[in-house]
Amino acid sequence: MNIARIWAIGSNVFREVFRERVLYIAALFGVALVIAVLLLNEVSGGTEGKISLDVGLAGISLLGLTVAAFVGAGLMNKEIEKKTALVLMAKPMSRAEFIVGKHLGLTSILAVLVALMNAMLFGVMAWRGIPFNLGTLTISALYLVLELSLITSVALLFGVFTSSLVATVLTFAFYLMGHFSQNLVALSQSIKTDSVKNIVKGIYLIFPDLSRLDFKNQAVYGLLPDSGALALNAGYGVLYIALLLAIASLVFARREF
């Protein structure tokens, strides 16, 4: 793979999404967060800090997921429908480089978006005098970016062979199954039929365990797994992203325009 070509595609995606004013979502989040915190102060009964952090982190995760699913699912279809992919493929660029560049560009936008929203969250918490653990929340934000990067790779994969709407729906379904996968393990223990148990275990192996990249609840209390577990979970996420991008590249390589 040629790094320069991947960088060029990624930079183009970053500028394109930036021009679509996706980052205005951060401003919307900031306004909504201030309103929510002020309202929670009236009804929380002394638990304003915990609830405010929970609401803020959940909002960041939800908005990031929305951007990753909707924009990621439409990136490939937009190129295919406008035939611009044909022009790029005519140049000395592999389809794998094209996919990886798209992923890099959207992941960069998501990283900026998450950073802005977390900065707003920290600012509001400081303004209200609510204590928070900057270190654990920052690490949680980094793992959220990794999780959203994985969801972006899922959206790109679905976007390669189906419409934007279907790809978006499938991406959201994938996200939900990824967060439900640990429950599948517990469920399989209570199933007595071997065939059904094997199916459930198979589903668990197919879908990523996104809870390994989600530390929102622990971070609120200033808790995180040890460094070894964090490194293992990060490696798990990177490996899954590489696998999904490889599959997307293979599917895209076989697609006729």
Query: Taking a C-beta distance cutoff of 8 angstroms, is the pair 59, 33 a contact?
Result: yes
Number of CB atoms found within 10 A of residue 181's CB: 19
User: DSSP labels for 1-62?
Assistant: --HHHHHHHHHHHHHHHHHTTTTHHHHHHHHHHHHHHHHHHHHSTT-HHHHHHHHHHHHHHH
- On the question of pLDDT at 46 being above 60, the answer is no
Q: Could you report the per-residue pLDDT of 75-109, keeping only the tens digit for each?
A: 877 776 666 665 566 566 778 888 999 999 999 99
Greatest alpha-carbon pair distance for the chain in Å reads 63
* Residue ranges with strand state E in 26-142: none
d(CA 200, CA 230): 27
d(CA 225, CA 218): 9
Q: Could you report the per-residue pLDDT of 4-35, keeping only the tens digit for each?
A: 888 888 888 888 887 777 778 888 888 888 88
- On the question of pLDDT at 72 being above 60, the answer is yes
d(CA 249, CA 251): 6
Query: Taking a C-beta distance cutoff of 8 angstroms, is the pair 224, 135 a contact?
Result: no
Q: What pLDDT score was predicted for residue 186?
A: 64
- On the question of pLDDT at 240 being above 90, the answer is yes
Which residue bears the tokens 């499938």?
Answer: 170
- On the question of pLDDT at 242 being above 90, the answer is yes
- Please tell me the pTM assigned to this model: 0.89
